[in-house]
Amino acid sequence: MVSAAEGSNILEVRDLQAYFPITAGLWRRVVGQVRAVDGVSFDLKEGETLGLVGESGCGKTTTGRAIIRAVEPTGGEVFYRMRDDTLIEATAADGRTMQTLRQQIQIIFQDPFASLNPRMTIYDIVADPLRVNSLASGGELEDRVSEMLQMVGMSPAFMRRYPHAFSGGQRQRIGIARSLVMNPRLVIADEPVSALDVSVQAQILNLMQDLQQDLGLTYLFISHDLSVVQYISHRVAVMYVGKIVELAPTHELFTRPMHPYTQALLSSVPAPNPRVKSLGQSLEGEVADPANPPAGCYFHPRCPFVQDVCRETEPEFREIAPSHFARCHFAEDLDLPGVPA
Amino acid sequence: MQTMPLLEVRDLKTHFFLDEGTVRAVDGVSFDIRSGVVLGVVGESGCGKSVLARSIMRIVRPPGRTIEGRITYDRGMRRGAAGDFVDLAQMPIDGSEIRDIRGSEITMIFQEPMVSFSPVHTIGFQIIEGILQHETDISKDEARNRAVEILRRVGIPNPESRIDQYPFSLSGGMRQRCMIAMALASDPNLLIADEPTTALDVTTQAQILELMAELQREFGMAMMLITHNLGVVAQMAEEVIVMYLGKIVEWTDIDTLFDDPKHPYTAELLKSIPRLRREGQAERLTAIAGSVPSPYVRPSGCPFHPRCPQAVAGLCDVREPELVQVGERHVVSCLLYSDGASNGAAEMETE
Mutate to test the interface with A, among B235, B269, B292 (most CBs of A within 10 A): B235
Residue of A nearest to B174 (CA): A286
* pLDDT tens, position by position, A223-261: 999 999 999 999 999 999 999 999 999 999 999 999 999
Mean pLDDT of A285-298: 88
Q: Where are the domains of chain A?
A: 45-62+95-233
* pLDDT tens, position by position, B338-349: 865 444 443 443
- The predicted structure's pLDDT at residue A166: 87
Mean pLDDT for chain A overall:
91
- Tell me the β-bridge partners of B26: B14
* pLDDT tens, position by position, A2-14: 444 456 899 999 9
- Residue A74 predicted with pLDDT over 80: yes
* pLDDT tens, position by position, B223-233: 999 999 999 99
- The predicted structure's pLDDT at residue B281: 66
- The predicted structure's pLDDT at residue B282: 67
- The predicted structure's pLDDT at residue B346: 39
- The predicted structure's pLDDT at residue B79: 64
Chain B positions in Cβ-Cβ contact with residue A268 (cut-off 8 Å) = 202-203, 205-206
Alpha helices in B90-122 (DSSP H): 96-101, 113-116
Cα first-last separation, chain A: 23
- The predicted structure's pLDDT at residue B280: 67
- Beta-sheet strands, E only, within chain B: 5-18, 21-34, 38-42, 64-74, 85-87, 106-109, 190-194, 222-227, 239-244, 247-253, 324-327, 330-332
Distance from CA of B216 to the nearest CA of A (A): 15
Determine, for residues B201 and A224 on separate chains, whether the beta-carbon distance falls below 8 Å: yes
**Amino acid identity, residue A302?**
R
Mean pLDDT of A185-214: 92
- Tell me the β-bridge partners of A79: A12, A89
Out of B205, B273, B280, closest to residue A268 by CB: B205
Report d(CA B109, CA B192) in Å as an integer.
6
Q: Please say whether the dihedral angle defined by the alpha carbons of residues A52, A55, A59 and A61, taken in this order, is positive or negative.
A: positive
Lowest mean pLDDT among A91-95, B234-238, B314-318, B338-342: B338-342
- The predicted structure's pLDDT at residue A3: 42
B71 — pLDDT class (breaks 50, 70, 90): very high
Specify the CATH number for A45-62+95-233; select among 3.40.630.30, 3.30.310.50, 3.40.50.300, 2.60.40.1180: 3.40.50.300
B115 — pLDDT class (breaks 50, 70, 90): confident
**Amino acid identity, residue B62?**
P
Strands B239-244 and B247-253: antiparallel
- Buried-exposed string B108-144: b where 16+ CB fall within 10 A, e elsewhere: bbbbebeebbeeeebbbbbbbebbeebeeeeeeeebb
Q: Is B313 exposed, middle or buried (0-12, 13-18, 19+ CB in 10 A)?
A: exposed
Residue of B nearest to A3 (CA): B281
CB pairs under 8 A between A and B: 152
Residue of B nearest to A288 (CA): B171
* The CATH number of domain B5-237 is 3.40.50.410: no
Q: Please say whether the dihedral angle defined by the alpha carbons of residues B113, B119, B125 and B126, taken in this order, is positive or negative.
A: negative
Determine, for residues A339 and B278 on separate chains, whether the beta-carbon distance falls below 8 Å: yes
Q: Where are the domains of chain B?
A: 5-237, 264-273+299-351
Closest C-alpha among B141, B63, B72, B142 to residue B101: B72
Chain A positions in Cβ-Cβ contact with residue B278 (cut-off 8 Å) = 254-255, 338-339, 341
Out of B45, B202, B285, closest to residue A269 by CB: B202
Share of chain A above pLDDT 90, in %: 70
Share of chain B above pLDDT 70, in %: 93
- Residue A327 predicted with pLDDT over 50: yes
Report d(CA A144, CA A187) in Å as an integer.
19
